[in-house]
Amino acid sequence: MRPLINFLRRVKHYTCGSTDDGHHSVFEFMGAQWLIEGSRAFTHEIIRHRVASYWQESQRYVDYSKQNLRYCVPANFKADELFNSLSSAYLNMRASEVSPENARYLLPNASCSRLWVQMNAREFFINFLPLRTGNGAFHEIRLIAWLMFDLIIKQFPITSEWVWQNLPKLHPDYCRGIKDNTDCRIKSIDDAFKIWGMKIPNNLSILMNTKL
Ligand X SMILES: Cc1cc2nc3c(=O)[nH]c(=O)nc-3n(C[C@H](O)[C@H](O)[C@H](O)COP(=O)(O)OP(=O)(O)OC[C@H]3O[C@@H](n4cnc5c(N)ncnc54)[C@H](O)[C@@H]3O)c2cc1C
User: Which residues bind to ligand X, rule: CB under 6 A?
Assistant: 48-51, 123, 127, 131-132, 136-137
Q: 10 Å Cβ neighbour count for 21?
A: 7
Of the pair 104, 132, the CB lying nearest ligand X is at 132
CA angle 109, 115, 117 (to 5 degrees): 130
Minimal CB distance to ligand X: which residue? 50
In three-state secondary structure terms, 202 is: helix
Of the pair 30, 93, the CB lying nearest ligand X is at 30
Of the pair 157, 172, the CB lying nearest ligand X is at 172
Minimum Å distance from CB 203 to ligand X? 24
Report yes or no: 56 and 115 within 8 Å, Cβ to Cβ: yes
In three-state secondary structure terms, 117 is: strand
User: Residues 110, 55, 90, 63: is their CA dihedral positive or negative?
Assistant: negative
Torsion angle of C-alpha atoms 189, 153, 149, 133, degrees rounded to 10:
50
Minimum Å distance from CB 141 to ligand X? 8
Minimum Å distance from CB 177 to ligand X? 11
| Catalytic pick among 40, 132, 142, 185 | 132
In three-state secondary structure terms, 152 is: helix
Is 132 a known active-site residue?
Answer: yes
Of the pair 103, 115, the CB lying nearest ligand X is at 115
CA pair distance 143, 200, nearest whole angstrom: 10
Minimum Å distance from CB 42 to ligand X? 12
Catalytic residues: 132
